[in-house]
Structure 1
């Protein structure tokens, strides 16, 4: 069973995917494990995954066999699947999952589908989409903060290629790239991997960001993220590093200890439109930041989340892509779940200062 269901009060989409319950969960702790244990993502075990969608290989290496540096395969237990370019475009009410975005675009402010003059408060649609796994390296012992920076760059060049391909599907509204490192972060297998899910609706978080960015653009005529970069560059309190067109900072209203954001210093709304130079710089910065975290906190679990503009045009001037690093150092509890507030025990100014020192920038 795969469906998207919308909460009738909060206007929030939820993916119902019973197949996900069958996915394997190994005993992944972030500490080094026995590399002799079986792993379906290791080189030589290509038959254990679905046939690859994309791969970077040595000359002469055959598809779905050894000789690769990165493989992209369909998720064996997808949250969404079955998307096709022949599928009709979703109707406007299916495209919006954020009340804030609906405020910016009133024509999209639909409560639910209308049938025979009756508005149905229980709104659902087929769980179509793309769900892909990026097997980031053939080496089971490597992860982002230990691999060569050129290999890390391959991951993000591959992501650009996949986004450019998926955005050709007219049924897809946006895509979410993410990485879970460590079981506490949600990782199901130890071998370094990340995931890409393309969806027929704009996610609530992205919708709220689009609305906030559009509001700031209408009010001031500038991109709010570009404004943040200038302000952080002027004060320096929360700026961690800036080089080669990429900046890393601790957000002013950080929700979690050592939460970080990486973004291009030049305005850019969609990650897939980034230059090779910016992608290489992003990978280099990310490896350094994760290496510093690993040194400071003994390789903590973390989540990486890419925020990039929807595929449809119209957000080029207001939105600005960015990558979030969220170390898993605290768990949400009753207050957070009930109120929506986050309590952060490490001020971002302190986190940025410690990160700069760990990187040797101070």
Structure 2
């Protein structure tokens, strides 16, 4: 199988987690950059990384990178790339783009030029003048940063946070990819208890169960590259079989989620059923002040309401104080929380050992 350059994209702050996941899959030659991790693999790697990456947003096939300051440079260098190696004659290949701090700042013009260059390349290779684009989808992106162009094809389709178990979401939902990263950053181990005292629709609890069972997060969904004729179906079958073989279904777990919103809890239970982990997660309606545990050691991982989300900073601060009191009653436990509050330590009553800047959407938080 040929060597292929891939990019695993990530929200800012999660690049090291994605790199750790890739190393766990056996991909050691990595380049970590802002918002992405570059690595080299083969066609099977496209299948495996889409199935297994928990904290990455997408897996992109990197067609090429080059400098371009004029539209002519963009056109000629795009046309020089071997698009026919991936795009069949009937390929549906829309182009989207973005430009940051580059002379070619018109995104719409860049998209049109890249599209035209690819069409001209395919005309020469396939000997035809018209392409109906009725076949599989190859979403192409032209990204410009400081006059450097990167051309990619999206292998994932819908973002990797769409695991297939959460069809409905409550207010201000936490992305599955961020929830998985929060768990991995906590270094929680499956032998210990885990409590999410603001569980909402259950994302943290469900992602913890998937991690503990060593279950590939992409098992319940499909990917754009599954329809590509140049990736044999046997490779997807091999990757799926590996994921099924490594799934530890019967691991005993102590995962608890609580919330005061009955509607959110109903969704959490539904999502747990859809994910197939309802028997290993215990959800209950409970205010944070009443959370208790019989376990000596454990991790409390939480995404409490933000002032921006709740619209009432006073209520949020009272919840933080109650969270701090609950945490201080739990002997030998760790607390990991995502917050936008400027001084959460004053409310919790404990200094942080570590803090990391993360983003939920465009909102800057600290974990």
Q: Same fold (TM over 0.5)?
A: no
Query: Under a length normalisation based on structure 2, what TM-score does the superposition of the two structures give?
Result: 0.22
**Greater Cα radius of gyration, structure 1 or 2:** 2
Q: Comparing both structures, which one devotes a greater share of its residues to helix? A: 2
